[in-house]
């Protein structure tokens, strides 16, 4: 029990001692501010075109697979019903 109380008091002290403006700006958020961090300079940086292209390709591939599955199920339904 005392270890838990020590941990809680340490966390409270650290929170009170923090004077970083960014800490309080994003406090209580799961997802940080969209303007956080530097702008992408290289294609592989976060938010760079390579990352966006990769995300698009994954989305397009999953969409292609879903459409193919849907089309085959429609064909199978028509074949059973006919």
More confident residue, 73 or 37: 73
Q: How is residue 4 written in tokens? A: 């838990």
3 state DSSP class of 3: helix
Tens of pLDDT, residues 54-68 = 999 999 999 999 999
Query: What is the structure's pLDDT at 23?
Result: 53
Q: How is residue 60 written in tokens? A: 């397009």
Number of Cβ within 10 Å of residue 8's Cβ equals 10
What residues does each domain of the chain span? 2-31+41-81
Q: How is residue 52 written in tokens? A: 């966006």
| Separation of CA 42 from chain center | 21
Tens of pLDDT, residues 22-48 = 555 556 667 766 666 778 788 777 778
pLDDT at 4 over 70: no
């Amino acid at each position: 029990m005392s270890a838990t109380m020590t941990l809680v008091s340490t966390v409270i002290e650290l929170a009170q001692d923090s004077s970083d403006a960014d800490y309080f700006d994003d406090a209580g958020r799961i997802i940080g501010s969209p303007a956080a961090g530097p702008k992408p300079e290289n294609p592989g940086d976060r938010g760079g075109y390579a990352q966006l292209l990769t995300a698009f390709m994954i989305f397009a591939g999953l969409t292609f697979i879903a459409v193919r599955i849907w089309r085959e199920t429609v064909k199978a339904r028509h074949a059973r019903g006919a």
